[in-house]
Amino acid sequence: MSYDIVAWTDGGCRGNPGPGGWGMILVNAASRDALERCGGEANTTNNRMEITAAIMVLRTLKKPGLSVQIRSDSQLLIKAATEWIPGWKKRGWRRKEGELLNAELWQELDRLMATQRTAWHWVKGHAGDPGNERADQLTNQAMDAVQAGRNAEWSNRTRWTGALS
């Protein structure tokens, strides 16, 4: 299947909780124009940053109804987005076992997914996928900025030269 948008996301944390960052690359499949973004928080968790990266991809898209593939190395993010969210919603945003951590982020992700035709694809982290490697670099850039007390928000427009399939 071809997609209008292909995106890679990553999130990380130094300590858990601790200073964290997220990174994303969003590529228009037709034009190959790309947007790279990152940001972070001083006291967060790895999972919050993984979810935030995906939310930022979907928030960036202003036109509804696009076919979007989000590629992530987070099994938790992929499983939640593709399997678990419907059950959480039925239980009032709770897990069978009780409290759902990061419920407000999962709710926002669910709301944003409904505006696009969102597909998910797991990629193995640190295994040479150019998009995943770049998202990881952006995540580390954001974590470095947070640790140094600088603004972690950064964006850049570029042209994607890597594969999209």
Going from N- to C-terminal start, the domains of the chain cover 5-157
- Looking at the chain, the whole-number percentage of residues with pLDDT higher than 90 is 93
> Across all residues in the chain, what is the average pLDDT?
96
* Total-model pTM: 0.97
- pLDDT for 114 equals 97
Residue 89 has pLDDT above 70, yes or no: yes
Tell me whether residue 121 is one of the annotated catalytic residues: no
- The active-site residue out of 92, 98, 126, 149 is 126
Residue 1 has pLDDT above 70, yes or no: no
Tell me whether residue 21 is one of the annotated catalytic residues: no
CA distance 98 to 44: 21
Tell me whether residue 149 is one of the annotated catalytic residues: no
Residue 45 has pLDDT above 70, yes or no: yes
CATH classification for the domain delimited by 5-157, as one of 1.10.8.60, 3.20.20.70, 3.90.400.10, 3.30.420.10: 3.30.420.10
CB 164 within 8 A of CB 29: yes
